[in-house]
Amino acid sequence: MSDCIFCKIAAGEIPSTKVYEDDTVLAFLDLDPQAPQHILLIPKTHIQSAADITAANSAVVAHIFEVAAKIAAEKGFSDGFRVVTNCGEQAGQSVKHLHFHLLAGRDFTWPPG
Ligand code: AMP
Ligand code: ZN
C-alpha cells in the first residue's frame, strides 16, 4: 500500500530503529514508547489488522510470535512481557497495518485499559 507508513518502513523508505529483520518480518522501536522496552513487530506484506488474518496469511503471524520470543530471550525479558495488537479504531489502532506491540520492563495491569 503506497500510503501506508509501516509499508514504507518495511521498504526502508522511512527510517526506523531496527531490532530484527528477515524476509517477512521487521521489528523496530516504537517512536512513543509505553514501557522501557517497546518494540513493534510487523509483517512486511500489508495486512490491515488482526481482523484480516486468514489461513492464507497466518504463517507470518506465527513467525512474528517466534520472533517476539527470540527478541525477549535476547533482551533478557522472557519472564515478563506483553504482546498486544489493537484492531480497529475502537481498540485504538492508529496505523492500519497489522502490528504487534512487544512491551516489557515494567508491571502491567489487567484488564488493560
Ligand atoms: P496503534 O496505535 O496500536 O496502531 O500503534 C501504532 C504505534 O505506531 C504507536 O505506538 C506509535 O507510537 C507507533 N508509530 C507510529 N509511527 C511510527 C514510526 N514512524 N516509527 C515507529 N513507531 C511509530
Ligand atoms: Zn502497510
Cell of 10: 518495511
Which one of the listed residues 38, 63, 97, 99 is annotated catalytic?
A: 99
Q: Please name which of 59, 79, 60 lies closest in space to residue 69, comparing C-alpha atoms.
A: 79
Q: What was the pLDDT predicted at 113?
A: 81
Q: What was the pLDDT predicted at 107?
A: 97
Measure the CA–CA gap between 1 and 33, rounded to whole angstroms: 25
Ligand nearest to the CA of 99: 1
Residue 12 in this model has a pLDDT that exceeds 90: yes
Residue 1 in this model has a pLDDT that exceeds 90: no
Q: What was the pLDDT predicted at 2?
A: 79
Q: Which amino acid is at 49?
A: S
Q: What was the pLDDT predicted at 90?
A: 96
- Residue-wise pLDDT tens digits, 21-32: 999 999 999 999
- Residue-wise pLDDT tens digits, 17-68: 999 999 999 999 999 999 999 999 999 999 999 999 999 999 999 999 999 9
Atom of ligand 1 nearest to the CA of 9: 19
Q: Please name which of 11, 107, 16, 19 lies closest in space to residue 70, comparing C-alpha atoms.
A: 19
Q: What was the pLDDT predicted at 31?
A: 98
Q: What was the pLDDT predicted at 108?
A: 97
- Ligand 1: residue whose CA is nearest its atom 3: 93
Query: Catalytic residue at 99?
Result: yes
**Average pLDDT of the chain, as a whole number:** 97
Atom of ligand 1 nearest to the CA of 94: 4
